[in-house]
């Protein structure tokens, strides 16, 4: 799955969460920001990914220790992101309630990436360290025009949902 598809799906899911939770517009914006960022994080385990090329000093050790689509593509990682974010906010004395939409967006975007990779033939080790790979490949995505079409549809969908939060 292309990085643009992950980002668009992360944005769509984050805005969907904002709508479901009836958050005010500023919080919806933070959720969206977190969703976009979170959708990029799992592929930090691949030095040639969009984020891996920008943060090679983090990406290479993770890739060396765990390989691509290892620990970063698991429920363990989603829980870890939530825990690390809330622990950092607490440590830095930042109001947890005000920053929670950003943390929630990160987790939603992260989880959306896992769902996206779940739909590919390689699947994901959702229950890492248990090595079972979860997959439900959508063969439609192997068609060359499907991902650009999905990206466009997801951004239009996210825009529509965002308009409903105001
Ligand atoms: Zn991935």
- pLDDT, tens digit, 9 for 90 and up, residues 74-129: 999 999 999 999 999 999 998 888 899 999 999 999 999 999 999 988 999 999 99
Helix (H, G, I), strand (E, B) or coil at 57: helix
What's the confidence (pLDDT) of residue 147? 87
d(CA 11, ligand 1 centre) in Å? 16
| Alpha-carbon span 81 to 31, nearest angstrom | 15
pLDDT top residue among 72 and 147: 72
| Alpha-carbon span 28 to 149, nearest angstrom | 25
Q: Name the nearest CA neighbour of 14 among 164, 166, 163, 162.
A: 162
d(CA 130, ligand 1 centre) in Å? 18
Model confidence at 142: pLDDT above 80: no
d(CA 44, ligand 1 centre) in Å? 8
């Amino acid at each position: 799955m292309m990085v643009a598809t992950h980002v668009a799906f992360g944005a769509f899911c984050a805005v969907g969460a904002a709508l479901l939770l009836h958050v005010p517009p500023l919080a919806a914006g933070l959720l969206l920001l977190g969703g976009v960022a979170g959708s990029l994080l799992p592929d930090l385990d691949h030095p040639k990914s969009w984020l891996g090329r920008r943060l090679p000093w983090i990406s290479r050790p993770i890739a060396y220790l765990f390989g691509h689509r290892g620990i970063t593509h698991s429920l363990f990682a989603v829980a870890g992101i939530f825990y690390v974010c809330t622990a950092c906010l607490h440590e830095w004395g930042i109001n947890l309630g005000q920053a929670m939409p950003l943390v929630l967006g990160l987790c939603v975007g992260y989880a959306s990436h896992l769902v996206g990779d779940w739909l590919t033939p390689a699947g994901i080790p959702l229950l890492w360290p248990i090595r079972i790979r979860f997959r439900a490949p959508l063969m439609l995505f192997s068609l060359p025009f499907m991902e650009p079409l999905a990206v466009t549809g997801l951004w239009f969908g996210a825009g529509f949902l965002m308009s409903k939060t105001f």
